[in-house]
Amino acid sequence: MIKISPSVLTADFLELKHDIKKLEEAGVDMLHLDVMDGEFVPNISFGNPIIKSIKEHTNLPLDVHLMINKPHRYIDEFAKYADYLSFHYEAGSDNAATLKRIREHGVKSAIVIKPCTEPEKIFDLLPLCDMVLVMSVEPGFGGQKFMPAALSKLSVLREECKRQNLDILLEVDGGINAQTAPLAISAGATVLVAGNYIFSASDMAARVKEIKLL
């Protein structure tokens, strides 16, 4: 079953509580929350106070994506509210220790790779992951165009997970819509992050249903 994790990055934050209720009714599986520090990526978004508030108003699992430098410094704080906690392979120092630290909190651990990073770089980390996130755009801004190179990375990771006999979610983030979602699913994606495509729609529930029926 394909999971949908709408990214709130492109949402109207004054309407977020209302929109989350709509997404719950539409049957989304989790919420994707992008945390940006203005250093690892050229944008600043929000931090733990916003995530805490969201947690208090929804039962949906929170899929927290750290786009920050030296993420190990903040694992203990973000693990308080995250259900899935991901960080970038490119931003960490001891990635294995960070993944283990996430799991010590009882949170699902995930590693993220940017478009410039080959999937083979994280093969040794897969046993420590509950999910892997493949970026299909450059991280930092919503509304970008899907990069087809992500498809081969998803396929490679799918085969490596099979080889290692690992049951890991494969998530893809960036440019997901009715045209790119089937391509990502065919390549091995099991979690789709869709932001602008869902939040820009006049009927968000219809957009969610559209993707789920692909």
The 8-class DSSP code of residue 42 comes to: S
Q: Which one of 34, 37, 63, 130 is the catalytic residue? A: 34
Residues of the chain with pLDDT > 70, as a percent, come to: 100
119-129 confidence digits (pLDDT tens)? 999 999 999 99
Listed in sequence order, the residues at least 6 apart from 55 whose beta carbon sits closer than 8 Å to its beta carbon are: 62, 81
Across 3-22, average pLDDT: 92
Residue 21: give its domain's CATH number: 3.20.20.70
Greater confidence (130 vs 202) lies with 130
User: How far apart (Å, rounded) are the C-alpha atoms in residues 9 and 160?
Assistant: 31
Sorting pLDDT into bands at 50, 70 and 90, what band is 33?
A: very high
Rg of the Cα atoms in the chain: 16
47-85 confidence digits (pLDDT tens)? 999 999 999 999 999 999 999 999 999 999 999 999 999
The length of the chain is 214
Mean pLDDT of the chain: 95
User: How far apart (Å, rounded) are the C-alpha atoms in residues 129 and 13?
Assistant: 31
- Full-model pTM: 0.95
Q: Which one of 19, 37, 63, 173 is the catalytic residue? A: 173
User: How far apart (Å, rounded) are the C-alpha atoms in residues 198 and 211?
Assistant: 10
Domain that holds residue 113: 3-212
Query: Is residue 173 annotated as part of the catalytic site, yes or no?
Result: yes
Greater confidence (158 vs 142) lies with 158
145-189 confidence digits (pLDDT tens)? 999 999 999 999 999 999 999 999 999 999 999 999 999 999 999
Number of domains in the chain: 1
